[in-house]
Amino acid sequence: MSFSEKDIRPEKLIKAAKVFINSDRKLLLKNKKNFIKVVCPACHSKKKKFFLKKNGFRYSICINCLTYYMNPRPTVEILDHFYKNSKNYRFWNKYIFPASEKVRRKKIFKPRVNECIKFCKKYNFKKPSIVDVGAGFGTFCDLLKKSGYFSKVIAIEPSLEGYLNCKKKKISSINDVIENVKFYKTDKFQVITNFEVIEHLFSPRDFLLNVRKNLVSNGLLIFSCPNGEGFDVKFLGKNSNTIDHEHLNYFNTSSIKILLKKSGYKTLEVFTPGKLDISIIDSYVTNKNIIIEDPFYQKVFNKKNQKLRNNFQDFIVSNNLSSSMFVVAKKK
């Protein structure tokens, strides 16, 4: 199933959101003097070198595992304040998610629910209970419920707007961060999911440890995040929208396994199902009026040859080179 970046990020609204992204950046940078230095968020090595600087933020790259990461970075408290006051998030919840929900539902969340059910079946979870951390607009949880496959569906969403949207969809919801959720005292869960969450966190390891506490033994962890070594991110480098103030951690298909092992999980699957690499590069090149004369690029990216473009995107995906990564792990 093919779709383009415009389908899920309506152009006019994305342009309107720019002003909020800028004010968000300023909000974070106001606290720059309180940012702190960290080691590699995946392998915890101190061996690093300068990677790049963008919009006032600095990124290091780990020499050991090639994860790149914002360093120094905002503390947990600064991030908490940031997400509660982010104008961009408010705008997405109010306008962009509602405007693109139909497409997102069909092209992103439905396939995501199907993937989750596929892995639950593969690893012998029949009618499992499931928690989605960072449930956002609640579309995914809504579809989980409607699938009828899960015995219990719970949404955890720290932002108030997102939480209220989940409630509107009649999903059992908790307005908090996972660190404060203590299911494990009464009821552990069989499956916990989180999509596009760990790249935003000060300490992905602390997050994974907290999730682990709430999982039954051998429970499944299913999540997605950007692949820092993915095609469009590597191609656009500093100009990639993936590299920005909200994303603190850029794992890759190998380094994510190191992090999971260090956090008490066994990795079962890592793959890159991203469908947008070519579309994202196209949007950038078109918007900036850039002409890339490389003959290979001209041939493969030629819009008149949709078949070749699709084949190339398939090649990227089947070789784990796409910039969106999907991971399944079990609690050890």
Q: Which residues bind Zn ion (CB under 5 A)?
A: 40, 42-43, 45, 62, 64-65, 67
Q: Closest approach of Cβ 227 to Zn ion, in Å?
A: 15
DSSP 53: E
Q: Closest approach of Cβ 66 to Zn ion, in Å?
A: 7
Q: Output phi, psi for 320, to 5 deg.
A: 60, 40
Q: Closest approach of Cβ 232 to Zn ion, in Å?
A: 22
Measured from the CB atom, is 138 or 228 closer to Zn ion?
228
Q: Closest approach of Cβ 58 to Zn ion, in Å?
A: 17
Distance CA 120, CA 12 (A): 39
Measured from the CB atom, is 65 or 211 closer to Zn ion?
65
Q: Closest approach of Cβ 173 to Zn ion, in Å?
A: 35
Alpha helices per DSSP H over the chain: 5-8, 11-29, 76-85, 87-91, 97-104, 110-122, 139-147, 160-168, 204-213, 231-236, 255-262, 277-287, 295-300, 306-318
- How distant is the alpha carbon of residue 132 from its chain centre? 13
Measured from the CB atom, is 163 or 202 closer to Zn ion?
202
Q: Closest approach of Cβ 40 to Zn ion, in Å?
A: 3
Measured from the CB atom, is 256 or 278 closer to Zn ion?
256
Q: Closest approach of Cβ 38 to Zn ion, in Å?
A: 11
Distance CA 137, CA 152 (A): 18
Measured from the CB atom, is 264 or 273 closer to Zn ion?
264
Measured from the CB atom, is 162 or 228 closer to Zn ion?
228
Measured from the CB atom, is 42 or 153 closer to Zn ion?
42
- How distant is the alpha carbon of residue 287 from its chain centre? 24
Distance CA 89, CA 194 (A): 17
* Residues ≥6 apart with Cβ < 8 Å to 313: 2, 275, 277, 278, 322
Count Cα atoms within 13 angstroms, Cβ side, for 144. Answer: 30
Alpha helices per DSSP H over 148-294: 160-168, 204-213, 231-236, 255-262, 277-287
C-beta of residue 147 within 8 angstroms of C-beta of residue 117: yes
How many beta carbons lie within 10 A of that of residue 283, not counting itself?
A: 19
Measured from the CB atom, is 31 or 45 closer to Zn ion?
45
Q: Output phi, psi for 48, to 5 deg.
A: -145, 165
Q: Closest approach of Cβ 209 to Zn ion, in Å?
A: 18
